[in-house]
Structures are given as structure tokens and as C-alpha cells.
Structure 1
Amino acid sequence: MALMREAKVHRIATQGPDDVSGLAAAIASGAISPAGILAILGKTEGNGCVNDFTRAFSVQSLKIELARHLPTAAVEEIAYVMSGGTEGALSPHILVLERTAGHPVHDRPSLAIGRALTPALPPEDLGRLAQVQMAAEGVRAAIRDAGIDDLGDVHFVQIKCPLLTSERIQRAEAEGYSTATRDTLKSMGLSRAASALGVAVALGELSLPDIDEAQIGRDMSLWSSRASTSAGVELENHEIVVLGMSRSWSGPLAVDHAVMADAIDVAPVKAAMDRLALGGEAASLVALLAKAEPGTSGRLRGSRHTMLDDSDISATRHARAFVGGVLAGLVGTAEIFVSGGAEHQGPDGGGPVAIIARRNGG
């Protein structure tokens, strides 16, 4: 009989990118076992752009704290997915995903978590089919790590992917290669796009031969219903976290997902909440993860918006604040993980949402 496992998700508020006091307290109290930590996701209050070093600052601070409890190799195996940008009233926090031994007796599927880290991505492969393939292979590895047998039981795939910097572009060119773009900001979108298409391929939503390299980051008719990707300067590989349901896992946590057709499409999210029995005494919210996208048309249900025309504030920052407000009003907390830039992640202007709930007061 396969070893039963249980997933735990700890949502911890932070006072800044370097604030690990909540994590330290949870470890000291025994609420979190460092050896069981698979991944830490977080919202940091930077600008979410190329020069947002709050992400790297947060990762460094987390690693320093965890090094007090774990050997270096174990610290480096953890996936650190920091998403910069807490515009509007989005509240900075971290989500600590833990895997422990589970109870052998259970009568229903429970939250399953898988993790995978890919090799470093050569700069010349970013935004190209080679990145799609690498991401797909990494997602498959994370699904195996979670022990999920049916792809339909995968509800969310979170990827932290690299971006291009001037140094990385120069390194590629010195070796005789060209990069997909020399614009470092555009490289973030291309990396998110290729990683998201990798999720679609791994989940059987698309096949690799059906994707033309010219479509990456451009043809928004191609998308995954369960991908969430975020690019950062603090890494050169892909750090992948899969959330799904499995009968080989036990415990009170469950996950479901929805796809918003646009930035105010809350009906699918409400439906997912109903499936999880949220809103009553049967379950309580643990975490919400979502993608935010201004869309390429410049309109929302026929009305013009200015997100794409604002030269002062990035459109992704507008979208995070807007979608964050919509979803916070729905679930009653602003401590939610809303990531901007949804290329191939849900339909154009919309995006996937994942909800983790604790059932029956467990």
C-alpha cells in the first residue's frame, strides 16, 4: 500500500519582504515542520517588474531562516515562488506548503502537492519552444511527485520562471546565440507565456506539435485553464508547484479551480466556492490564487479601460489591483495571491483561480 500523505497550507502575514518572524514562530511552536516544506509562495510589495528585488530579498530571507533548521541541500530543494506587486489593498503574505505523513483511514480525496525544479534555462531558449518543452517536462515531474494519476485531478500549476537581463543576453550573444527579445520587460511576458503553454501541453490541453513558436506570447486563443506563471530575476530555472486532489492523500484540505472569462467574471469562482462548501460552516478559506490580465482589446464588456495606455503604471499592476479587489470582496479578505501577466493563462482578459479550503472544520 502506498504511503499516505497529508498536505498542510499555512498562510502567514508579512510586514516586509525580509519578515520571517511568522515562519520562525510557527516552526518554534511545532505548527510547521521544516523538513516537510515543499514550497513557499508569497506576495511581496515591489513593482513586479524586472527590477523588483523584493522577490529575491524575500527568498534570501526565507533561506537564511530555514538554514537554521535544514541542511543547505534541503533548503535549496524548496520551491520559492515570490510574486511581486501588492497594488491596491492586496496584503503581503506567504503560503507555506507542507507535506507530512497522513492518516491511513480516509473516505475522500484530499489536497495533493507536487514539486519539481528544472535545470537552468539557456537565455537563448527563453520564450521559445524549448522553454515550452522544458516547462512541460517539469510539470509532469511535479505531477508524479504529487502522486496524481488522473490529469483531470490537477487543479492548479504554479510556475516561477526566469527572465532576461542585460547580462544574460550578452552571455548568449557571446556564445553566438540570439535571444527572443532584447527588451528585458518583454522577456517577462514571453517567459510566462512559454511556461503556461508548457502547462497546457503537460495537462493535455494542447500538444507541442500544434504550437508554432511565433504564437508564443502573441496568439491568446491558446491557453491553459490551470496555469499560473510568474517571472523573476532571482532564478534561471523553473520552480514548479502542482496542486490537485488524490485519494492517496488524507486530511481536511481540498482544492478546486475556476476560470474567469474577464476581470469581473466572478460566477465561476462562486461555483468553485460552492463545490468546496465555502460560505457556510462546512468549510473555511485557506488560500486563493489567481491570475490577473488587462486583456488586449482595451475594453471590458464593451467599456473602454485605460490600463494598456497608462505610461506611468504597468498594465499588470493595474490588473492585479483591480482583480484583487474583485476577488477580495468575494471571499472577504485581501490576503490573497493575485499574480499579474496572464499570457496563455486563461482566456484573453481573464484567468484561472484556485481555491484551497479546509472542510468540516478540520
Structure 2
Amino acid sequence: MMNCSVIKIPARAPHDMSGLGAAVEEGLFRPEEVVAVLGKTEGNGCVNDFTRGYAVMALKGFFAEAAQGGAADISYVMSGGTEGVLSPHFTVISRSGQGGADADKSADGPKSLAIGVARTRSFRPEELGRLPQVDAVADAVARAVIDAGITSPRDVHFVQIKCPLLTAEQIYEAHSREVSLITEDTYKSMGYSRGASALGAGIALGEVDRSVLKEEDICTDWGQFSTVASTSAGSELSCCEVIVFGNSLSADGPYHIDHAVMQDAVDGAALQGLLDRYPGEELVQVLAKAEADPDGVIRGRRHIMLDDSDINHTRHARAVVGGVLAYVGGDPMIYVSGGGEHQGPKGGGPVAAVFRRK
């Protein structure tokens, strides 16, 4: 049966692998069983945040040596920006065994954490933020669900997607081919890519109707969204990396995951409700999406996140949501990603919690 584990390791810098090395020596995880690493790096989280690529380079070097070449398929999802109290760290996700519908476990037994991974093909610049990206992500999410041995969309509680963005070089190359782009603003391209990826996840899980989705709905129709998608854009990749977190009877072990939906950036009650649901269990990690309400208000009060020309609104939102969830969960070393286009309701976003049964 599949057995998955989640541990988080502090990082003194994007290239700091000392914590991972110590964890391997202590037997906390086996490098050859790692399928994904989620990271919070201390850059600006914007187009020129090279701490993400720096961390990926360091992680690939670490696992190439630690796993003796057996780590080529690890998915690395680095989310830049640790504003406020958010603490830089890596979340290491391991998986052993293989789940499936015919796994030998009683239907009355508890479902345990199951992880699935997949990748899309590489995208051309003109495909980002458009339906080809939506469809490719939908296919990848569906494959990741199967890879996790999850048989019902109701058992999927978080879908983390790392997606590409447009750079000035790519825009110039597209001009040379005389093709149109969704935008020529590199920062805005992050939002379009995140939004298209989230809609793809929603289609795969039955939350968004592909038959009625139009290309112009991307980043305009906020009524179409996924309640479990969390997408993060970066310049360090050209495809989408997909990691599905859920529960399955085909998985074993003490870990499991659940999720709620924050209605706005200060909705700490969403996480508190998850904690109340599992009293006495250890909270291992919090995974969340942060967004600034596009109407410019939170609970009827005006905010200036969208009007600040010095600090991007995604950075404001990460600081707010990170502070709220760190208070509720009692730990600032959590994964909070900014930019919530089509990820939860307008101004809100999904929050998932990984628990360990005692």
C-alpha cells in the first residue's frame, strides 16, 4: 500500500541544505522516496524572484547525491515571498509503495494521506493564460489523481501547481513569430498563468464546467473557481508541475489531510474549524492561498493592497494571511502562496491542513 509522509525543515537561505542533510541522518525521510518538495523562499515572489530557481538548483544537487541518482522525477515547487512572519522552509513529501482501487485495506478503516504527481508539456508563450494551458493542466491533474490512487474528487483536498510566466525575452520571441499574447506585462502574466492553471484543476475535479468556459473568462469571471487549487507562477520552468494531496483507502500511515475555504484574507475561522475537527491530532503543516479582494474591500472596509505602487498586492496578501494562519495554527513555518485567481471565492482561498494521528 502507499505510505506518504510530510515533514517541514527550516532553511537559513534558499540554498541551505543543512536541515535536509540532518533530517536524512536522523532517518526522518529517505531521499529515494521523495516525490515533491514545496518551499517558501525569501525573495519578492514576483517575476525577478530568482530565489526560487536558486533553491531548485540547490535541491536538485542535494537529492542527486543523497538519492544516488534516484531523484530525477522529484517535483520542486518553490513559492517566493516570506513577508511578515512567514518563515523560510522546505516541506518534504515522501511516498513509498503504490496505491490503487484494489489495495488490501478495510473499507471501514480510516483513509490516509495519498500523494500524486504529474507534469504538463512545456508551453509556448502564446498558450499561457489561455485555454490550451487550462486543458493541459486539467489532464495533468486527472493523471495525478490516478497516480495518488484517489477514486473520488471529494477525497482531493489540495492541488498545488507550479506554472510558468512570461518574461521579456519570451515576449520578444513571440513578436518575432507575429503571434499574440494574453498580455505583454510580465507581472500580469503571473496572474493569467495562475488563473488558467486553477481553472484546469477545477475542470479535472468537476468544479468548473469546461463546456461553458470561454477564454475571456480567465481572470475576469470570478464565479468560476476551484476550492482546492493553489497555483504559483515562476520563471524557473516552462511546464506545470502538479501535486495532488488527498486521502485514500489505498494509502496507509498516520498522516491525513483536510481542507476548508477562507472567505477572505482574515478568515482564520476556516483553519480553526479544521483544528476543532481533529482534537488531539498533531498539526503537521498548513497549505494556503492568499489573495487581495479585487473589489478593494475586506468585510466592508477599504484596503489599499491593489493601489500600492511600491509593494505588489500579492506580497501584502501573503503577509496578512500568513499572520492570521500562523496565529491560529501556532506556527509561522507554513506554506502560504500569493495570487488567488480562480482559487477559491473572490478575495478568499483554500486552506488545507496535514494532520498526524497519535
Bucket of the pairwise TM-score, normalised by the shorter protein: over 0.9
Deviations 1:78-137 (A, max 9, x none): 110000000001000110000024996672110000000111111110000111001100
Among the aligned pairs, what percent are the same residue? 53
How much has 1:255 moved relative to structure 2? 0.2
Deviation at 1:267, TM superposition (A): 2.4
> 1: CA distance between counterparts of 2:125 and 2:345?
28
Matched positions, count: 352
Q: TM-score, normalised by structure 2?
A: 0.95
Residue 57 of structure 1: which of 42, 54, 59 is its match? 54
Taking the aligned partners of 1:209 and 1:165, their CA distance within structure 2 comes to 31
Alpha-carbon offset, residue 25 of structure 1: 1.6
Match of 1:93 in 2: 89
- Matched residue SS, 2:261: strand
Letter in 2 for 1:333: D
Instruction: Report deviation, 1:22.
Output: 0.9
SS at match of 1:258: strand
Aligned to 2:199: 197
| Conserved 8 A contact 1:259-1:351 | yes
| Equivalent AA in structure 1 for residue 93 of structure 2 | L
In the alignment, does 2:131 pair up with 1:129? yes
Amino acid at match of 1:169: I
What are the within-5 Å matches in structure 2 for residues 9-28 of structure 1?
9-28=6-25
Contact 1:260 1:266 in 2 (8 A): yes
SS at match of 1:68: helix
SS in 1 for 2:71: helix
Alignment partner of 2:311: what SS?
Answer: coil
Equivalent residue number for residue 347 of structure 2: 349
Q: 2:213 aligns with which of 208, 211, 214?
A: 211
What secondary structure does 1:205 align onto?
coil
Aligned to 2:186: 184
Q: Distance in 2 between matches of 1:100 and 1:326?
A: 34
Q: CA offset at residue 273 of structure 1?
A: 1.8
Q: What is the DSSP-based 3-state SS (H/G/I as helix, E as strand, rest coil) of the residue aligned with 1:256? A: strand
Give me the whole-angstrom Cα distance separating, in 2, the residues matched to 1:128 and 1:79: 24
Q: Distance in 1 between matches of 2:6 and 2:171?
A: 38
Partner of 1:46: 43
C-alpha distance in 1, partners of 2:278/2:125?
41
The CA deviation at 1:71 is 5.5
Q: 3-state DSSP class of the match of 1:192?
A: helix
Task: Check the 8 A contact 1:254/1:276 in 2, yes or no.
Answer: no
Deviations 1:172-229 (A, max 9, x none): 3323322111111000000000000001000000121211111101221111100000
CA distance in 2, matches of 1:123, 1:276: 45
Q: Supply the distance in 2 between the matched residues of 1:7 and 1:311 (Cα, whole angstroms).
A: 43
Indicate the residue corresponding to 1:336 in structure 2. 334
SS for the counterpart of 1:77 is coil
Secondary structure of 2:211's counterpart equals helix
Distance (whole Å) between structure 1 residues aligned to residue 341 and residue 110 of structure 2 = 35
State the partner residue of 1:7.
Answer: 4
The separation in 1 between residues aligned to 2:186 and 2:41, in whole angstroms, is 20
Match status 1:36 vs 2:38: no
In structure 1, distance between residues paired with 2:72 and 2:170:
22
Which residue in the other structure is 1:321 paired with? 319
* 1:29 Cα deviation from its structure 2 partner: 3.0
Give yes or no for contact 2:271–2:329 (8 Å, CA) kept in 1. Answer: no
Structure 1 residues 128 and 91: alpha-carbon distance in aligned structure 2, compared to 1, 3 A threshold: same
- For 1:77, which of 68, 73, 79 is the aligned residue? 73
Deviates more, 1:93-102 or 1:147-156: 93-102
Gaps of 5+ in 1: none
Q: Could you tell me which residue of structure 1 aligns to residue 292 of structure 2?
A: 294
What's the CA shift for 1:144?
0.7
- 1:240: which partner in 2? 242
Q: Give the counterpart of 1:224 among 226, 235, 242.
A: 226
Evaluate the alpha carbon distance shift between residue 71 and residue 177 of structure 1 in structure 2; reply closer, same or farther with a 3 A threshold: farther
Partner residue in 2 for 1:284: 282
Task: Specify the alignment match of 2:253 in structure 1.
Answer: 251
Which whole-Å CA distance do the structure 2 matches of 1:164 and 1:252 have between them? 41
1:125-153 CA distances to partner (integer Å, 9 max, x unpaired)? Answer: 00001110011001001101101011110
Question: Within 2, Cα distance between the matches of 1:23 and 1:121?
Answer: 32
Which stretch shifts more, 170-179 or 209-218?
A: 170-179
Provide the TM-score with structure 1 as the length reference.
Answer: 0.94
SS for the counterpart of 2:293 is coil
Indicate conservation of the 8 Å contact 2:64/2:72, yes or no. no
Cα distance in 2, alignment partners of residues 191 and 249 from structure 1:
32
Equivalent residues in 2 for 1:101-180, closer than 5 Å: 101=97, 107-180=109-182
Runs of 4+ in 1 over 3 A off after TM superposition: 101-106
Unaligned 5+ residue runs, structure 2?
Answer: none
- Separation in structure 1 between the aligned mates of residue 173 and residue 72 of structure 2, nearest angstrom: 25
